[in-house]
Amino acid sequence: QSALTQPPSASGSPGQSVTISCTGSSSDVGGYNYVSWYQQHPGKAPKVMVYEVNKRPAGVPDRFSGSKSGNTASLTVSGLQAEDEADYYCSSYAGSNNFVFGSGTKVTVL
């Protein structure tokens, strides 16, 4: 149950795109299409932005998109806006009702 690996930080100017990677193993990311991504602003609870690799909940802008290849999932935020500045965490189902989160990535809008 090791944490999924994410880059500590990512940044981009307003209007640009930023992509965050999330690397696991065949026991979690690679083994299931149940990767989700959460946005967390300081002092707030996390909010799901993407689920089942590439699906967006109602109300989440289509600027947020997800993908997966092998043991690595990715979240892309296009058309960066100031309010996108936050911490982002990936999560994956790991079988037998177990879950694992990523180490987190701080996204800065320059």
Partner 1 sequence: QVQLVESGGGSVKPGGFLRLSCAASKFIFSDYYMSWIRQAPGKGLEWVSYISSSGSAISYTDSLKGRVTISRDNAKNLLYLEMNSLRAEDTAVYYCARGSRYCSGGTCDPNFYFDFWGQGTLVTVSS
Q: Binding to partner 1 by residue 101, rule CB under 8 A?
A: yes
How far apart are the C-alpha atoms of 75 and 63, rounded to whole Å? 10
Q: Binding to partner 1 by residue 48, rule CB under 8 A?
A: yes
Number of residues that bind partner 1 (CB under 8 A): 26
Strand partners, 9: 106
Q: Binding to partner 1 by residue 38, rule CB under 8 A?
A: yes
> Residue 101's Cα: distance from chain center in Å?
10
Strand partners, 38: 48, 89
Residue numbers at the binding site for partner 1 (CB under 8 A): 1, 3, 32, 34, 36, 38, 40, 45-48, 51-52, 57, 89, 91, 93, 96-104
